Structure 1
Amino acid sequence: MTESTGRGSTAVDDRSIGQLVQDMSQQVQRLVRDEMRLAAEELRRKGKRVGTGAGLAGAAGMLALFGAATLVAAAVLALALVVPGWAAALIVGGALLLIGGVAGLAGRKQLSAAVPPVPQEAASGVPKDVAALREGVRR
């Protein structure tokens, strides 16, 4: 049995460099597998939350659409007290088309500013990370 020197077990001292490198390789593989499992589990949990949130947001959107349609009908009916019904519907419809067109143009401008949808900052850091890993392995 080997003696302890206060640093813990001396079993590491009895192993060859090849065995230590093999152990390190196995530990790195295990670490990567464990990290991948952890990431998959986290994505699964977040996926459930995203699904629930998307369902609630969809329901809220539908209710808001119905509410907006009701308000449009109320605007047409209120304007119909002053002008004929067909003119009231025409005025409200034209105003909605104008507002929709302006919103569409603003949205198009925002979308064109967001292209390409590649995480350029993260992608630019990958070569630096690989270089740092290579340098660490060479030491």
Structure 2
Amino acid sequence: MSRRKDQAGTFELLARLPQQIVSLAKIEYENAKREVIAKAKRAGIGAGAIVIALFFLFFMLEALVIAAIAALALVWPWWLAALVVAAALLLLAAVSILGGIALIKRGNPVPEETLERVGGDLSAMGEVRVNAEPPAPRPARMPRVGEEGNWR
């Protein structure tokens, strides 16, 4: 078989393979790094937009509190209306704090289901390792007369 001069032989191709694998790994690493950076920039912009929205939401809630005080001030004196709204806000904050504490106490940070699965996996791997051991070699003996065996 004749080969063109610009074609590489099998051994030359095999010699190039490790270098090409390393090159490919470096290129893939750079691509992944660029992709992560682009996604992180988008996530940062999104987080900034959420912070701005929360800033406006804070002032909106402040305006609603003032509106509630003004509405109650039509019926009561303004100081009593402000006191009632402040007490209501304090009550809401206390209920939220107590509910959050109860949820934190009830929530166990230990991933029990995952630990059970990992324990099962480890025991299964231990059984595989034990079962994968080759059987103990039997002592070699010569076949006796009349037995089948390797008679050389």
TM over 0.5: yes
Q: Counterparts of 1:28-47 in structure 2 under 5 Å?
A: 28-47=21-40
For structure 2, the residue ranges without an aligned partner over 5 or more in a row are: 119-152
For structure 1, the residue ranges without an aligned partner over 5 or more in a row are: 125-139
TM-score where L is the length of structure 1: 0.61
Q: Which protein has the larger Cα radius of gyration, Structure 1 or Structure 2?
A: 2
Give deviations 1:102-139, integer Å, cap 9, x for gaps.
334445536984847xxx79xx7xxxxxxxxxxxxxxx
How much has 1:68 moved relative to structure 2? 0.9
Q: Calculate the aligned-residue CA RMSD, in Å.
A: 3.8
> Would you say 1:68 and 2:66 are equivalent positions?
no
Q: Counterparts of 1:17-28 in structure 2 under 5 Å?
A: 20=14, 23-28=16-21
* 8 A Cα contact 1:80 1:88, kept in partner: yes
TM-score where L is the length of structure 2: 0.56
The structure with the largest helix share of the pair is: 1
Identity %: 35
C-alpha distance in 1 between matches for 2:17 and 2:48 = 46
> Would you say 1:11 and 2:9 are equivalent positions?
yes
C-alpha distance in 2 between matches for 1:32 and 1:112 = 46
Give deviations 1:9-48, integer Å, cap 9, x for gaps.
7722xx18xx83x544323322221221111111111122
How much has 1:95 moved relative to structure 2? 1.4
Partner of 1:90: 83
Runs of 4+ in 1 over 6 A off after TM superposition: none
C-alpha distance in 1 between matches for 2:49 and 2:39 = 15
Partner of 2:47: 54
